[in-house]
Amino acid sequence: MDLGSLALGATAGIAATLAVGALALTKRVRRLRQLEERARRQERLAELGAMTGGLAHEIKNPLSTIGLNVQLASEAINDSALPEEDRALLVRRVETVGREANRLANILNDFLRFAGRIKLAPTETDLRAIVEELCDFYRPQADLGRVLLRSDLPAAPAIARVDPALVKQALLNLLINATQAMATSDSTTRELLVRIEPPNPVPPRGPRPADAEFASIHVIDTGPGIPPERHAEIFRPYVSGRKGGTGLGLAVTRRIIEEHGGRIDLFSEPGKGTDFVVRLPVAGPAHESGEGDDDAARRTVLDRLFKRAESA
């Protein structure tokens, strides 16, 4: 072998090594950015949770008092000697106050669920049981909305490490959202399908390995569909297409799924219905206590802040 060939081979080897190193460094930088962003999001939510604790207490007490006094006022008006027409008018007005107080209480509860810290209690769970229980619970409400609720479950167990109560809450929000969307549709066919797909690898959107297995739960409706330009914004807080809605249902659902290390995908076209796909990692959340990566990312951020302060 001449020196030219040897040099060429060495150069190629060095180039390949540098390429591999650059790829590893790029992945590490991307990972670090993801951790920092997650840490910033967790810190913002922690601040919101701390601030809203006292606020919730201050608001809930007056709302409870209003509700009690509305009930007492209605009873007193009905027992009064006022003419029937006057009594009916006053009762309607008092009941309006009661309804608005209840609406404010619901808005407050939704906000607390969104802003507060979510603590998971994951266990090995058959997702089929979650869907069956949820459908049994929600079917009367679907019947009231003239919606046919069905489930399509695999014959084999679909086991994943999840918090059953929180996953059920996330799916319930999707069922409610779908029912309300179909209520505004002119279609005479109102169907709601909950389907579980067996675990399979899903292209990752974050620190999960590429071969990580995810179980998918579809919530499919025959409603009016969602325009493409609204696909991203409907998951943002206080964005609602329904009059009187808090706009936090889908935001809470996304938070619950992301806390599990999963994600929610949306497939929809106007006039063709909507398919929300909840993807949950079979292995469970990467850090059940909410620590781990978040703490590492926080330490990274704090180290950078201290270095900046020292150099200033």
pLDDT at 307: 46
Confirm if 177 and 250 have CB atoms less than 8 A apart: yes
Comparing CA positions, the residue from 115, 137, 93, 84 lying closest to residue 251 is 115
pLDDT at 92: 87
pLDDT at 248: 73
pLDDT at 100: 83
Quote the CA–CA distance of 251 and 186 in Å, as a whole number. 27
Q: What superfamily does domain 123-281 belong to in CATH?
A: Histidine kinase-like ATPase, C-terminal domain (3.30.565.10)
Rounded to 5 degrees, φ, ψ at 248 are -115, -10
pLDDT at 9: 58
pLDDT at 113: 63
The amino acid present at 10, given as its one-letter code, is A
Residues shown for the chain:
312
- HSE-up (13 A, CA, CB side) for residue 140: 2
Query: How distant, in Å, are the alpha carbons of 44, 65, 83, 103, 199 from that of 75?
Result: 45, 16, 15, 21, 56
Both structure tokens of 242? 């329904």
pTM of the model: 0.60
Quote the CA–CA distance of 152 and 274 in Å, as a whole number. 16
pLDDT at 220: 94
- Within 10 angstroms of residue 138's Cβ, the number of other Cβ atoms is 19
DSSP strands (E only) in the chain: 123-126, 148-152, 159-162, 191-201, 213-221, 263-268, 274-281
Quote the CA–CA distance of 165 and 20 in Å, as a whole number. 44
Per-residue pLDDT in tens (0 to 9) along the chain, 312 residues: 555 555 555 566 666 666 666 777 777 778 788 778 777 776 776 666 666 666 666 777 788 888 888 888 888 888 888 888 888 888 888 888 888 888 787 777 666 666 666 778 899 999 999 999 999 999 999 998 899 999 999 999 999 999 999 999 899 999 998 998 888 776 678 899 999 998 776 655 655 555 578 999 999 999 888 888 887 777 776 655 555 455 677 888 888 998 899 999 999 988 889 999 999 999 888 765 444 444 444 444 344 434 444 444
β partners of residue 217: 196, 278
Quote the CA–CA distance of 190 and 207 in Å, as a whole number. 39
Rounded to 5 degrees, φ, ψ at 94 are -65, -40
